Amino acid sequence: MAEPGIVILLSVYGEAPFLKEFLASLKEQSCRNFRLRYRFDDDGKDAEYKEILAHFPRAETSGRNGHVGVALSYQKLLQEAGDAAYLMFADQDDVWHPEKVEKSYACMKQSEARFGRETPLLVHSDLRVCDQNLREIAPSFFRYQALNPERQTLRDLMIQNNVTGCTMMINRALADQAAIPAEAICHDWYLALTAATFGRIVCLQKVLTDYRQHSGNVYGAVPRRRMLPELFHKEELHRRLMLTQHQAAAFLHQYAGCLQEPQRTLLEAWSGMSSEPSWLRRLGIAWKYRFTKNDFLRTLGLWWAL
């Protein structure tokens, strides 16, 4: 098999008790023509983890460790990936199914044949939600969180992300377009915004990753049944909403000269909504531009928190 030019990016943070299991799942991949590039998003003092990664086949270290946060850590890895044709993003806690790299690559090649290699492309897939011992909690991350991966326009993704970083593969065109800023909520969300604006997002409707839920997750899966109680925490909902608006403002500033007018209008409306002093006025803007989330309950929470 010809070298596909895949680099898997891994940012290691804090304790990494499941790192060996993740790396073991990489060794079991049906497609092994990839390199692993990693960095420690902390002081990287744990010699055990360094030793484990140093002996992984085709592993490269950035050598530039230090805490910058998950989004900027992956931006650094992106910058250091050279001219790799395809990039994947890994989480130290998860387990990849043996066909994950192969199927993601096949879907990417099909997408490039359809849309062109010069089109920025993001391919992502579903996950199986597990506890820390890999016992199944839910067979589908999409269904568990009531996410609709078909909602993939800029309007949709400004408000709510449905792309999980550890399932993503991006092509060189998207990597060249992307630059993740400090205001990004997470690298996957910002890359999804970039792909939705300048290229295409393709969802491979297959479960290719075991997503491990445990107390140390930076971001975790939230079942739909827990959404109703969240409506009573308006301040927290508003805080999250403001983060999406700050992210949209950063995206608008970064790509102002490249956006089409409808795209600019949407970003300006969402990022500038908080300047309106009246909740009714803000609700009116949300109604005018059809700012909604994946389902009715989430949309109610969105409008309530404006």
* pLDDT tens digits along 146-204: 999 999 999 999 999 999 999 999 999 999 999 999 999 999 999 999 999 999 999 99
Q: Where are the beta strands (DSSP E) in 14-110?
A: 34-40, 59-61, 86-90, 95-96
Q: What percent of the chain has pLDDT over 90?
A: 75
**Residue 241 pLDDT level (bands cut at 50, 70, 90):** very high
The CATH number that domain 6-212 falls under is 3.90.550.10
- The pLDDT score that the predictor gives to residue 57 is 87
- Give the pLDDT mean for 35-62: 84
User: Cα torsion for 240, 242, 246, 251, to the nearest 10°?
Assistant: 70
Q: Read off the pTM.
A: 0.93
pLDDT in tens, 56-115: 988 988 777 888 999 999 999 999 988 899 999 999 999 999 999 999 999 999 999 999
Do residues 182 and 71 touch, judged by C-beta distance below 8 A? Answer: yes
**Residue 252 pLDDT level (bands cut at 50, 70, 90):** very high
Domain borders along the chain are 6-212, 226-305
pLDDT in tens, 194-222: 999 999 999 999 999 999 986 555 555 55
